Structure 1
Amino acid sequence: MPPLDDTFVIDPAIASSTQRLADGRELIYFDDVDTTLPAERLPDARELAPRPPTASMRQDPLTGEWISIAAARQNRVMLPPANLDPLAPASPSNPSEIPDQYDVAVFENKSPSFGPLLEDANAPVDLADLKTIGIGRTRTSVGRCEVVSFSPSSTGSFGSLSRTRARTVIEAWARRTHALSQIDSIQQVFPFENRGEQIGVTLHHPHGQIYSYPYVTPRTQRLIAASEAYGPGLFADILAAEQADERVVLAGEHWTAFIPFAARWPVEVHLLPHRHVPDFAATSLEERDELAVLYLRLLRGVDALYDTPTPYIAAWHQAPTRVHRDELRLHLQLTSPRRGADRLKYLAGSEAAMGAWIGDVPPETTATALRAAIAAADEENPV
């Protein structure tokens, strides 16, 4: 296994502690710098059934892509009432997934799309094995899926967090990216937040997830192909071009946010670090500090576009854990299907079937609207 980057640093002011849930899953607490919580946490007192078998992957021979068949996900909680929130701190009437009070909590998903190799030996061998095309090929969906609960509050999203709490979540992303990247079977780590029922969210509780894949994802494979076709410096050149354009919506010392030149979605924002870092684990403490402010401002601006909260997917693209780390740069792609106050973009024939996108809103129009929305949000609720 090639050595990983040795530039990883942690913020010593943000403490963390680890324990096991009743069925053996890992739970990690991350404490705000100004936390009032004790260091010791209550154990998980539930009696839980054994973990379900890890899902299996099937290869599509037409594309070479692997599809994880995770039937256990059919039984996951669906929009529960607040008194049965599985991400709230546990109480006598709500034996939730998190047994004690917390600031930020990260734990292994109970019904993961990618999980541990429990008994089945049909694990992926290596990337070359997964790239081979065949009929009826299967592998165990070895990997890891984690839930990142941003807050003990049952409502909200990342954008509603305090600056301190946002910084704690970003620190959790960095530390979990580093830890998960050490696992031999994991090829890519993907932090993300789904927000809004229109996106398919099944919990109102403010949270995100981290998927760790046994392969390099199809989207990232296309980024690799584009980088190889363009040559060295693709992300640096994109950033320079966008920084000189009217589509920039927010900028700091270390990060710039912009509406991309060829945006697919009605609302699509990319956020790039100014220097090359392959993932969160390679960011500096100064970059994480600034991101906590800029990211909150960006999300609050996205919400200020209309009178009601905006549904979105906030996808943090990271380089694979072993390959192409000098070419692919950490970056956010935030997308929303909202093309008006009461209109959503649905993927119809051309987009869904052929992957040939048709944009509904000129990127320059979106940039103008989002800059105004960020300014309004800054005035009403400064970070």
Structure 2
Amino acid sequence: MAELRYNPLLRDWTMVASHRQHRPHLPKDYCPFCPGSGKVPDHYDVLKYDNDFPALSQIPPEPDDVGTGLYKVREAYGKCEVILYSPEHSTTLPELSVDHIVKLVELWTERFAALGNDPKIDYVLIFENRGEEVGVTMPHPHGQIYGYPYIPLKLRIELEACQAHHEQTGRCLICDMNREEQQFEQRIVMENEHFVCYLPFFTDYPYGVFIVSKSHQTALTDFSSEEKRSLAQILRDTTGAMDTLFDRLFPYMMCLHQRPTDGGYYEDYYHFHIEFYPPLRAKDKLKFNASSETGAWAPCNPMAVEETAGHLREAYARFKQKEGRG
């Protein structure tokens, strides 16, 4: 069964996808994403792969006949894609070359544009789940893309906040955030010509960095080739610093926040950025979202980001030194 069910309390949709219970879990002797599996080409650098267990489909089944005037149901229309980062089964993002990650950014850009051209898809979310701590079921390096037939609630709230700030000040909220962080300096982890990585003043994860474009752009499709290369570099450096911090694979959830694809106008007030949600607060300690965080959406960060930003800066310096860039 795959369908959308409306939540009238939050005015949002819940995806129901019971068939995903049957997806493979960390297979030991077979990987469908490795060359030779018969599921992917024998030779590729990066690859788009249609999800075998999609929560959303461009040919969705009819929803169950359980809807009412209050409890609405609709077809789970959309698209779920897997983006394979490399044919190498155990390679991680910071172990790839910048040239290789540029190919990944180009593929992201291509898929954002293609899915955004579907008039029934209102939002395209590019993301990566990394590590067993966040529920990863396939260890091969990959991310995913969901094309939703609506704008999910978190994105909708963020867009509304950006629009309200622009109406009140005439400025972009995220441009103002960049200026505040660059003036304060202590929460900045790294930057290059076109992007800056910092722990925002308000983030609820000890190491929940944002990567933000310095120029006011709303989506990957706005970036020049030089900006895409800068993005590839800072993605590699950010994840490399994370892995270096505790000398272990650093689990995270990474989401690219871009303008919706519903035909609306967002150029004046929205701004491309990447948000990381890493659950580690120490090498062997997790930050759990418990009752307050989940039941009230009242986040609590157990550490001051002015302190944890320093930890990540030191790890970034060690990562560069290890590579001979330091």
TM-score range, shorter chain: over 0.9
Match of 1:269 in 2: 209
User: Where in structure 2 are the equivalents of 1:20-39 lying within 5 Å?
Assistant: none
Letter aligned with residue 110 of structure 1: D
Q: Distance in 1 between matches of 2:283 and 2:292?
A: 24
Match of 2:224 in 1: 284
Bigger helix fraction = 2
Matching of residue 187 in structure 1 with residue 134 in structure 2: no
Q: Distance in 1 between matches of 2:40 and 2:278?
A: 30
User: Where in structure 2 are the equivalents of 1:207-222 lying within 5 Å?
Assistant: 207-222=142-157
Q: Distance in 2 between matches of 1:121 and 1:338?
A: 39
- In structure 2, which of residues 290, 297, 301 is the aligned counterpart of residue 355 of structure 1? 297
Structure 1 residue 325: Cα displacement: 2.0
Q: Distance in 2 between matches of 1:60 and 1:382?
A: 53
Contact kept? 1:250, 1:258, Cα under 8 Å: yes
Match of 2:243 in 1: 303
Q: Distance in 2 between matches of 1:170 and 1:382?
A: 25
Q: Distance in 2 between matches of 1:382 and 1:185?
A: 48
Match of 1:147 in 2: 82
Contact kept? 1:68, 1:113, Cα under 8 Å: yes
Match of 2:277 in 1: 335
Sort the Cα spacing of 1:218 and 1:119 in 2 relative to 1 into closer, same or farther, 3 A: closer
SS in 2 for 1:84: coil
- In structure 1, which of residues 310, 313, 327 is the aligned counterpart of residue 253 of structure 2? 313
Question: Structure 2 regions of 5+ residues with no counterpart?
Answer: none
Sort the Cα spacing of 1:118 and 1:67 in 2 relative to 1 into closer, same or farther, 3 A: closer
Contact kept? 1:191, 1:211, Cα under 8 Å: yes
- In structure 2, which of residues 23, 27, 32 is the aligned counterpart of residue 86 of structure 1? 32
Sort the Cα spacing of 1:346 and 1:119 in 2 relative to 1 into closer, same or farther, 3 A: closer
Match of 1:127 in 2: none
Question: Structure 1 regions of 5+ residues with no counterpart?
Answer: 1-52, 123-132
Q: May I ask how many residue pairs the two structures share in their alignment?
A: 315
- In structure 1, which of residues 70, 77, 81 is the aligned counterpart of residue 17 of structure 2? 70
Q: Distance in 2 between matches of 1:380 and 1:206?
A: 22
SS in 2 for 1:74: helix
Contact kept? 1:61, 1:134, Cα under 8 Å: no
Sort the Cα spacing of 1:118 and 1:311 in 2 relative to 1 into closer, same or farther, 3 A: closer
Match of 1:376 in 2: 318
Q: Distance in 2 between matches of 1:118 and 1:305?
A: 43
Letter aligned with residue 141 of structure 1: A
Sort the Cα spacing of 1:78 and 1:228 in 2 relative to 1 into closer, same or farther, 3 A: same
Match of 1:165 in 2: 100
State the TM-score, normalizing by the size of structure 2: 0.92
Structure 1 residue 382: Cα displacement: 5.1
- In structure 1, which of residues 49, 60, 84 is the aligned counterpart of residue 7 of structure 2? 60
- In structure 2, which of residues 59, 79, 92 is the aligned counterpart of residue 117 of structure 1? 59
Structure 1 residue 146: Cα displacement: 0.5
Match of 1:136 in 2: 71
